Amino acid sequence: MNNYTPNESFSQAPWCFNGHAHTVFCSLLFTSPALNSERQVINTPDDDFLELDVIDKGEKSPVAVLFHGLEGHSKRFYVARLAEQLVLQKFTVVLVNFRGCGSRMNRQRRFYHSGETEDIETVLKWIKEQYPNSEIFSAGFSLGASALLNFLKKHGSNHPLRAVAAISTPFELKKGSLNLEKGFNRIYSIRFLRTLVKKLEIKRKTYPDLPTFSGSTLYDFDDQVTAPIHGFEDADDYYQQCSSYYFMDQIKTDTLIVHSKDDPMCPFKWTPVNEIQNNPKLTPCLPDQGGHVGFWSLPPGWLEVTVTGYFRSFLMNGKQRA
């Protein structure tokens, strides 16, 4: 059992008066730190590619691989700020762009989704080849956290990840999707849809037979586009298969679960708290404030210090995988 105790005493910035403030202010006002990274393009088994940004601290350093959220990318502030802290702690950092989220559109029909595991496998295989003697850790934000948890469920203990951090996970995908159409959340939904539809139309030039989107919500997009492109029957089938709410008791890898109780996009009421607390492999960190991948603290850096401290606890204590 992991004995690491995260600091849940999150001291929020006074101007972040609710979860929306954390989510919006951080997104609008925070700039990404300049990272001295090198772009690596790696091939996938289906003749596509993934764009990685790598900050190499040497072959003996531990490696942290980071996955962004829906319609994010490797330079988003929340990913880059964690990367900056990890580099300060002598981690090699690999920032992953999901398909279609890097500098150019990917080649195949498919994009990415909340249950993506094959591309995670590809990235980890590449990391093992490049850093054969390094401990590997990973953190995912929102959709990236969902994908990581799906990966852990699929592979049990048969993978190279020493420990994981899942931040602001959409545990209940259907409820979360429908929640984005309510009140102020509609702003987030519109923003996501704008770029998703734009990418769909760009890709249609190569694949004219791609599904047509005629809806107005993220649920509609997942039902009409995401599900059929990625082999699901419909949105409900996609959500049911990939919602980590239903399998947190099956996770066999040490995992830090960070989720604020005022997350407006993935409300805390859908967090499987009992399953998380009863699984000895999971370490809950559930502060009262923080919004969705926001966590604007005073002094700054609570989230980054919390995740980095969790990873370092395995290195400092010489913990072995169970």
2 belongs to a structural domain: no
Confidence band, pLDDT 50/70/90 cuts, at residue 20: confident
Instruction: Choose one of 202, 220, 242: the last residue of a domain.
Output: 242
Residue 37 sits in the same domain as residue 149: yes
321 belongs to a structural domain: no
Question: pLDDT value at position 10?
Answer: 83
252 belongs to a structural domain: yes
What's the whole-number average pLDDT of the chain?
A: 94
Q: Render pLDDT for 205-246 as a digit per residue (tens, 0 to 9).
A: 999 999 999 999 999 999 999 999 999 999 999 999 999 999
Confidence band, pLDDT 50/70/90 cuts, at residue 71: very high
Give me the mean pLDDT over the 57-80 stretch: 95
Residue 260 sits in the same domain as residue 279: yes
Is the pLDDT at 56 greater than 70? The verdict is yes
Q: By three-state DSSP, how is residue 193 classified?
A: helix
Q: Render pLDDT for 275-285 as a digit per residue (tens, 0 to 9).
A: 999 999 999 99
Residue 88 sits in the same domain as residue 191: no
Residue 74 sits in the same domain as residue 136: yes
Residue from 40, 36, 62 nearest 51 by CA: 40
Is the pLDDT at 82 greater than 60? The verdict is yes
Question: pLDDT value at position 123?
Answer: 98
Question: pLDDT value at position 2?
Answer: 56
In this structure, what CATH number is given to the domain that contains residue 40? 3.40.50.1820
The model's pTM: 0.95
Q: Render pLDDT for 132-141 as a digit per residue (tens, 0 to 9).
A: 999 999 999 9
Give me the mean pLDDT over the 108-131 stretch: 97
Residue 26 sits in the same domain as residue 64: yes
Question: pLDDT value at position 319?
Answer: 52
Contacts with 201 (C-beta within 8 Å, 6 or more apart), sequence order: none
Residue 150 sits in the same domain as residue 275: yes
Instruction: Choose one of 242, 271, 293: the last residue of a domain.
Output: 242
- The DSSP element (H or E) to which 187 belongs, if any, is helix 185-204
Question: pLDDT value at position 270?
Answer: 97
Residue 89 sits in the same domain as residue 167: yes
3 belongs to a structural domain: no
Residue 208 sits in the same domain as residue 100: no
256 belongs to a structural domain: yes
Confidence band, pLDDT 50/70/90 cuts, at residue 31: confident
5 belongs to a structural domain: no
Give me the mean pLDDT over the 295-307 stretch: 93
DSSP notation for 119-160: HHHHHHHHHHHH-TTS-EEEEEETHHHHHHHHHHHHHTT-SS
Residue 184 sits in the same domain as residue 46: no
Question: pLDDT value at position 322?
Answer: 46
- How long is the chain? 322
Quote the DSSP letter at residue 90. T
Residue 40 sits in the same domain as residue 177: no
Question: pLDDT value at position 316?
Answer: 75
Question: pLDDT value at position 18?
Answer: 86
Residue 183 sits in the same domain as residue 149: no
Confidence band, pLDDT 50/70/90 cuts, at residue 318: low
Q: Render pLDDT for 165-197 as a digit per residue (tens, 0 to 9).
A: 999 999 999 999 999 999 999 999 999 999 999
Domain, as residue range, for 212: 173-242
> Into how many domains does the chain fold?
2
Q: Render pLDDT for 259-271 as a digit per residue (tens, 0 to 9).
A: 999 999 999 999 9
Q: Count Cβ neighbours within 10 Å for each residue of 193-223 and write b for 16 or more, e otherwise.
A: beebeebbeebeeeeeebbebeeebbbbbbb
111 belongs to a structural domain: yes
Residue 61 sits in the same domain as residue 122: yes
Q: By three-state DSSP, how is residue 75 classified?
A: coil
322 belongs to a structural domain: no
Instruction: Choose one of 189, 208, 242: the last residue of a domain.
Output: 242
Q: Render pLDDT for 233-243 as a digit per residue (tens, 0 to 9).
A: 999 999 999 99
